[in-house]
Every structure is written in structure tokens, then in C-alpha cells.
Structure 1
Amino acid sequence: MTPPETPTLLERIRQDWSQVQPGLDPGPMLPFLLLDRLHTALVRQIETTYQAAGINPASWDLLLTLYRSAPAAGLTPTELSDLTAITGPSITNRVDRLVQKGLAERQASPSDRRSVRVRLTPPGRALVEELLPHHLANETKILAALTPTEAQTLERLALKLLSRLEAPQPAEAPAH
């Protein structure tokens, strides 16, 4: 069975809630469902660029970060974590996978043997340079559904929501 189109699904959810809890406003739930479905569809479409190369979204993010942001000596795992959407503990696993594929390498820091730097290998650089034009074309095709003004509005609204979610939250008072 094919899942319903998103507008149909949203309307069905509104109707179902009005039957089960007539006084409940499902309005706050619907944007989350919409964003979740959008995220899933975007990931599925974006993955077509690099999936054939055996790369997942986190590895692609690391490859792009190393390509665009790393000096010749590479980046530390902390710097990589700061520049990607990947959390610190996951960086080690992701880097391990790239190293196993021969796309990245770890180098001990000459000034601090406890510190390592990660950088692209020549095959890693070549893979990014091969896939990057396809990746950008794919993203351009996806965003073609929006006018430039709509794309700017989407970015502004997403940043507005994200800035609130990423802002430090005040500590809650203990319940008595």
C-alpha cells in the first residue's frame, strides 16, 4: 500500500484528532510531521549522489568538510565535530570508516603526540571532486521548486527556529 500524499495525510490527521479529541488543536504537531517527511525525502534524494560510492550522509559530510575546511595538515576530531553535523563520539567511528576505505588518513601531530589530525587522501579528494558537481546539481534541482525569494525565506525561518533550539536553555526549578 502506498502511503498517502502529505497534504492528504495532514488533512486525515486533522480529521482523526477532531473525532478523537474535538477540543484538541493538532496544529503544533503538523509542522513537525511535515518537516520529518521533508527531511526523509531530502535525505533519500541527496543520497543518490554518493550512495553508489558506498558513502552514507555522515561520511559525505566529513568528506566535504575535510575538502573545504581542512588545511594541508588536516583537522583535529574536535574541529571536525565543530564543523559538521556529527557529534564528537561519532566522529571517531566515521573517520575510522573513511580511513578503512582509503579516503582519509590520521596523522599524529608533530607538536603533541596525543593529538591527531585527519585529512583527505588523494583518492578521497578525487572522490569529492568527482561527486561534487553531481551533488550540487542534485541540490539545485531540488531547490528549483522554490523561487530565490522563497529559498531565502526558508533559510531565514529555519535559522529562526534553529537559533531558539540551539540557544542555552535556563535551568528548570526542581519540582516540589
Structure 2
Amino acid sequence: MSDPSTVRAPDAVDAILQQWQRERPSLDAAPMGPLGRLKRCAALLEPRLEAGLAAFGLRLWEFDMLAALRRAGAPYCLSPTQLFSTLMVTSGTMTHRLRRLEMQGWIERIPNAQDARSMLVQLTDAGQALIDRAVEAHVDNERQLLACLPAQALSELDDALSMLLRTLESPVPLAE
């Protein structure tokens, strides 16, 4: 493994890798590099994304829920199951979050015409107006956060992350 600090400026993960190299020279800790960087980037990005949404009175999870409904297209309506599947949260978490968004006046629950036993979640006019404003600012914020990367590097990063995501999302055969 070549020393990454000779190719680019070292980062916090390089220091961790160097410590492992010193303490366990026979351990190939290379997988810790990209995964550690992904985890650190996610941890550092989240507060910056939250800060960009603060002007709209939104937290990141609220934005994600409103955006999921908006992306669904008119009439901006999904079942709670579709919502929690899209957002990868538990049904208990979803119930709590739906109540909060409903109290804000951003969503409403409406009867499901196909199943009288269930309700659907729909954006209100206020929720739609809010998410339409917030998503523009959110995309601008994301663009600024990625501005440090040249276009080619950004494209390669996107491709590599897409490949990793597809691999992680694919069903893993059980060991026999």
C-alpha cells in the first residue's frame, strides 16, 4: 500500500491508518480508509445540511419527509408504509414524525380510497410551498459543499458511491 500522504494532503483518517500500521504492521487496514472517510464526511455534512434548512424552520428529517411526498408527484400523497420504506426508518419513528409534521400543518392524513382501513399522508398547501422553497436552497447548499471537487472528481466519486450503494442494497445470499 502506498503512503497516501505523498499523493495528497493527509486527513484525519490517514492518521488512524498510520496508527494501525505502527501498532499492527501485518494488518491490512486499507478498507478503513474509504469507509472511515465516508463516515467522517457524513458526520461533518449533516450539521451543514441542517444549517442550510434552519432558515425554513426545518430539520433534516422533516425536509426528507416533505421532499419524499413532493417527489411522489401530484397529489403529493403516500401511504405511511411507502414513506417509511423510502426513508429507512421504523414504523414507530414514522408515527411520531407524522404527528409532528401534522401539528406543523405541513401534512394531513386522508382516507385511502383503495383501502378503507388505512390512511394516506398528503402534503398540505403550506407543506408544498415550504418544501418548494426549501429544496432550492438545499440544492444550492449541497452544490456549495461539493464545490471544492473538480467536475471530473465529483463524477468519479458519484459513480463509485453508486456502485457501492448498489452492492450494499443488493440481497446478500445467506452463508450455508
Q: What CA distance in whole angstroms lies between the structure 2 residues aligned with 1:9 and 1:151?
A: 21
Summarize the alignment of residues 21-36 of structure 1 with structure 2, pairs less than 5 Å apart. 21-36=24-39
Q: Which residue among 112, 125, 129 is the counterpart of 1:122?
A: 125
Query: Taking every aligned residue pair, what percent have the same amino acid on both sides?
Result: 32
Q: What CA distance in whole angstroms lies between the structure 2 residues aligned with 1:96 and 1:54?
A: 16
1:47 aligned counterpart, secondary structure: helix
Q: Please report the RMSD computed on the Cα atoms of aligned residues, expressed in angstroms.
A: 2.1
Q: What CA distance in whole angstroms lies between the structure 2 residues aligned with 1:17 and 1:151?
A: 29
Q: What CA distance in whole angstroms lies between the structure 1 residues aligned with 2:82 and 2:157?
A: 28
Q: What CA distance in whole angstroms lies between the structure 1 residues aligned with 2:76 and 2:155?
A: 35
* Counterparts in 2 of 1:70 and 1:94: CA distance versus 1, 3 Å: farther
Q: What CA distance in whole angstroms lies between the structure 2 residues aligned with 1:63 and 1:86?
A: 15
TM-score with structure 2 setting the length: 0.83
- Counterpart residue number, 1:85: 87
| Unmatched tracts of structure 2, length 5 or more | 1-8
Q: Displacement of 1:151 after TM fit? A: 2.1
Query: Is the contact made by 2:52 and 2:137 (CA closer than 8 Å) also made in structure 1?
Result: yes
Q: Which residue among 144, 152, 157 is the counterpart of 1:154?
A: 157
Q: Displacement of 1:52 after TM fit? A: 4.3
Summarize the alignment of residues 93-172 of structure 1 with structure 2, pairs less than 5 Å apart. 93-172=96-175
Query: Is the contact made by 1:70 and 1:119 (CA closer than 8 Å) also made in structure 2?
Result: no
Query: Is the contact made by 2:110 and 2:119 (CA closer than 8 Å) also made in structure 1?
Result: yes
Q: Which piece of structure 1 moves more, 138-147 or 87-96?
A: 87-96
* Counterparts in 2 of 1:147 and 1:15: CA distance versus 1, 3 Å: closer
Q: What CA distance in whole angstroms lies between the structure 1 residues aligned with 2:140 and 2:174?
A: 44
Runs of 4+ in 1 over 4 A off after TM superposition: none
Q: What CA distance in whole angstroms lies between the structure 1 residues aligned with 2:15 and 2:151?
A: 32
Q: Deviations over 1:70-128 (max 9, x none)?
A: 4326111122234x333351332222221121111100113422121111112211211
| Unmatched tracts of structure 1, length 5 or more | 1-5
- Counterpart residue number, 1:55: 58
Structure 2 counterpart of 1:169, one-letter code: V
TM-score with structure 1 setting the length: 0.83
Q: What CA distance in whole angstroms lies between the structure 1 residues aligned with 2:137 and 2:170?
A: 35
Q: What CA distance in whole angstroms lies between the structure 2 residues aligned with 1:100 and 1:12?
A: 47
* Counterparts in 2 of 1:31 and 1:147: CA distance versus 1, 3 Å: same
Q: Which piece of structure 1 moves more, 99-108 or 7-16?
A: 7-16
Q: What CA distance in whole angstroms lies between the structure 1 residues aligned with 2:139 and 2:17?
A: 37
- Counterpart residue number, 1:3: none
